[in-house]
Structure 1
């Protein structure tokens, strides 16, 4: 192993992800290509062969070995085992997660300990966001969203509560918005009304909702600015986003809270309302109140 790769290999997926993100600016082009594919498609890395993974990532099989060694592993098989372990931990059913959680907290005061676990995880997420958030990025995102004729809000599955809150808060603050959801399957028609004068706020976390990613791509191709909230520099949303926030949520027992994401969403909503209020003639300056 060369001096370049002489480092301790991460023992779990979170550690591996953190290492890749920390070194993403210095990764050689082909290795960065594999890294992006690996974080976007962890299941394929876990179960695919070197040949199939290399073909899907658009590289030679030897690049997979170089990628593994670059991160401190002695070969691709060793790195692959991290992805397989991640799959066992993250893709367990909710029943399995509950059983594992029960084994961890025991029976005595279990409910209180579960609450403590989620409070601790939420606190960790909030602290990380407070340390990592770029204030200039926050200002630019609020300015872009406040200047939109309509804010189109897109999210699905675990991210949907964020979209629902944003639509509620912006509505209360008098900001025209459109939550893209339709029981009748009319999302494409709803999105067809978006123009470059609007802005799309898109939220998606791994495993990313394919429909959300595709809709973000379509909007970007039509010149609609996209502000994204996601969890990785290698998220497929990043390539379509004009501005994007990286939010990492800590988990407890395999369950992740949305504490940091909701805090960021509240800041965006109130900031947008405040900026729009300042633009209205004859309005006294003052902070917008958070919707209750």
Structure 2
């Protein structure tokens, strides 16, 4: 398991346990983190040192004393710990270094690039292949995502619906979500998207599907995400937050990959389907 995922839940208790063994400067860091861990999660080592009154090297040694290979790993563990606890207001306050429009543009795009890079490096290729295999064998495919995650679910549902004829995207504007999956069974597959702040309804739907014997594929940002505990295979997608707006770009990329991979397995069938679509679009003047 990733060092960040493994350690984030016990980080605060580790700091408390190790406190008496720390140097004077490291104790100052520990005290500050215990009181302000939501702020420290987004501070550089240099900034944390300046705030506390110690050197940057002392901050790095503090991270090492807690068993981390470097400060970035400690910072990532703090981010993992708090990201589902931050309110929208706190996220806005967190973005105080977005000084102008050019800064915002650069930070957001670079953040999305970093999220995609990390996703590519860490995503489980075998889990991805298993997901494709399950989708191709499924009696019915249910795709769900609540709140902003619904955008990605709808996107994937649109493209899988062109390729396959057994896809249902669970919608919030078409009655209760449970009513839409009540017939789910052992031969069905659920693809669930869930990112902080994790929707309780998403977890309830996934838990219900699992109890009915369906195969659950979760696309989320952490093995600590509630839906991951009910999933048969999990695709971890990095979604480090950028203020009050969630970064869903990597999730879109993984959705793209799923749709293309399924499409390539059904290449001959979809070529015929697309030919029919082109004729219909031409007949009814769909495009300029």
TM range (shorter): 0.5 to 0.7
Gapped regions of structure 1 (runs ≥ 5): 1-17, 39-63, 284-292
Structure 2 distance, partners of 1:67, 1:264, is: 36
Matched, 1:81 2:35: yes
Asked if the contact 2:195–2:239 (Cα under 8 Å) also holds between the matched residues in 1, the reply is: no
Matched, 1:227 2:223: no
Cα shift readout 1:247-270 (whole Å, capped 9, x = no counterpart): 112333453321111100110112
Structure 2 distance, partners of 1:138, 1:266, is: 12
Q: 1:192 to 1:70 in 2, by over 3 A?
A: farther
Q: 1:250 to 1:182 in 2, by over 3 A?
A: closer
Q: CA deviation at 1:182?
A: 3.8
Q: CA deviation at 1:175?
A: 4.1
Which residue pairs with 2:202 in the alignment? 212
Matched residue SS, 1:265: helix
Q: 1:183 to 1:232 in 2, by over 3 A?
A: same
Cα shift readout 1:15-60 (whole Å, capped 9, x = no counterpart): xxx7541xx2xx7xxxx9x65xx9xxxxxxxxxxxxxxxxxxxxxx
Q: TM-score, normalised by structure 1?
A: 0.65
Matched, 1:93 2:89: yes
* 1:184-199 superposed matches below 5 A: 185-199=175-189
Q: CA deviation at 1:68?
A: 4.7
Q: CA deviation at 1:78?
A: 6.7
Structure 1 distance, partners of 2:242, 2:13, is: 33
Asked if the contact 2:140–2:167 (Cα under 8 Å) also holds between the matched residues in 1, the reply is: yes
Structure 2 distance, partners of 1:233, 1:172, is: 31
Q: CA deviation at 1:185?
A: 3.0
Asked if the contact 1:118–1:252 (Cα under 8 Å) also holds between the matched residues in 2, the reply is: yes
Structure 1 distance, partners of 2:17, 2:148, is: 34
Asked if the contact 1:143–1:275 (Cα under 8 Å) also holds between the matched residues in 2, the reply is: no
Matched, 1:160 2:156: no
Matched, 1:139 2:93: no
Gapped regions of structure 2 (runs ≥ 5): 42-81, 273-288
* 1:235-250 superposed matches below 5 A: 235-250=225-240
* 1:1-292 superposed matches below 5 A: 19-21=3-5, 24=6, 35=10, 65=13, 68-69=16-17, 80-85=34-39, 90-93=86-89, 97=92, 101=95, 104-106=97-99, 110-183=100-173, 185-277=175-267
Asked if the contact 1:175–1:273 (Cα under 8 Å) also holds between the matched residues in 2, the reply is: no
Q: If you compute each CA radius of gyration, which structure gives the higher value, 1 or 2?
A: 2
Asked if the contact 1:118–1:251 (Cα under 8 Å) also holds between the matched residues in 2, the reply is: no
Matched residue SS, 1:266: helix
